[in-house]
């Protein structure tokens, strides 16, 4: 059947591991900025849709992924005469919405170069830790336990790149594997935690499964011919 366009769509889900490292250490001022480090990596899960056009290298897809990252931080507020020391533990839960232009090579077994941009949404932050005052007495100590987000931007933006592969196990089922690097370009930490740039570089490995279905679009000429044949019949 003559067609104007023909292609395939892959709909699937991936699972894997996310490892985060700081893109910058924000402790440039010991009496304001917190010193932040990673103390927890995590598993990730993502859902994706990808278009595949035969013999075309550039294809487009999109994905939504969830993962969490744990941070520790130390912050001093005050001066030499007195102030407060804070020790933080943060658990950040992220949802990234990703647009994925992909360079696809091969026919049956495909090799993929990933690229694109993402919008990061900080779904939830859990903050625990301790604080203690120093300087003239009386001194005080306490526990930090907060479920509201007072230290990080809710929305952030960044880019990603990486490599992947796809190979079929049947006519409809595709195995998908990816290794991606994701880096934020906006300031993740609020001014209450850091007055300079801080964001994360995420290294991600994932594997999953996708279902393939074909998509075809008839030309106008073919549609008119089919309608005429039906009427005359």
- Range name among 32-41, 114-123, 194-203, 218-227 with the lowest pLDDT average: 218-227
Cβ(52)–Cβ(5) under 8 Å?
no
Give the tens place of pLDDT for each residue, 167-189.
Answer: 999 989 999 999 999 999 999 99
Mean pLDDT of 97-105: 95
Which residues, in sequence order, are CB contacts of 81 under 8 Å at separation 6+?
135, 136
pTM of the model: 0.83
Mean pLDDT of 57-69: 95
Domain spans of the chain, in order of start: 5-232
Q: Is the pLDDT of residue 220 over 70?
A: no
> How confident is the model at residue 233, as a pLDDT?
44
Q: Is the pLDDT of residue 223 over 60?
A: no
> How confident is the model at residue 3, as a pLDDT?
36
Give the tens place of pLDDT for each residue, 137-178.
Answer: 888 999 999 988 999 999 999 999 999 999 999 989 999 999
Q: Is the pLDDT of residue 5 over 50?
A: no
Give the tens place of pLDDT for each residue, 11-54.
Answer: 999 999 999 999 876 666 666 788 889 999 999 999 999 998 88
Q: Could you tell me the sign of the dihedral formed by the alpha carbons of 60, 62, 65, 70, in that order? A: positive
Cβ(78)–Cβ(84) under 8 Å?
yes
Considering the segment(s) 5-232 as one domain, its CATH architecture is: Beta Barrel (2.40)
């Amino acid at each position: 059947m003559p067609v104007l366009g023909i292609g395939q769509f892959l709909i699937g889900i991936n699972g894997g591991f996310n490892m985060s490292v700081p893109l910058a250490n924000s402790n440039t001022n010991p009496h304001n900025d917190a010193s932040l480090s990673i103390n927890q990596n995590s598993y990730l899960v993502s859902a994706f849709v990808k278009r595949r056009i035969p013999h075309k290298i550039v294809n487009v897809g999109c994905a939504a992924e969830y993962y969490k990252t744990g941070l520790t931080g130390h912050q001093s507020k005050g001066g030499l005469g007195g102030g407060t020391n804070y020790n933080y533990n943060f658990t950040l839960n992220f949802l990234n919405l990703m647009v994925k232009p992909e360079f696809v090579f091969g026919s049956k077994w495909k090799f993929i170069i990933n690229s694109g941009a993402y919008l990061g949404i900080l779904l939830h932050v859990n903050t625990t830790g301790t604080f203690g005052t120093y300087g003239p007495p009386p001194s005080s100590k306490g526990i930090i336990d907060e479920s509201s987000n007072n230290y990080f931007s809710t929305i952030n933006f960044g880019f990603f790149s990486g490599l992947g592969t796809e190979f079929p196990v049947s006519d409809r089922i595709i195995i998908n594997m990816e290794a991606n690097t994701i880096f934020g370009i906006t300031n993740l930490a609020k001014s209450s935690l850091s007055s300079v740039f801080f964001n994360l570089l995420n290294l991600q490995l994932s594997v999953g499964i996708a279902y393939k279905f074909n998509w075809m679009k008839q030309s106008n000429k073919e549609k008119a011919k089919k309608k005429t044949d039906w009427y005359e019949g």
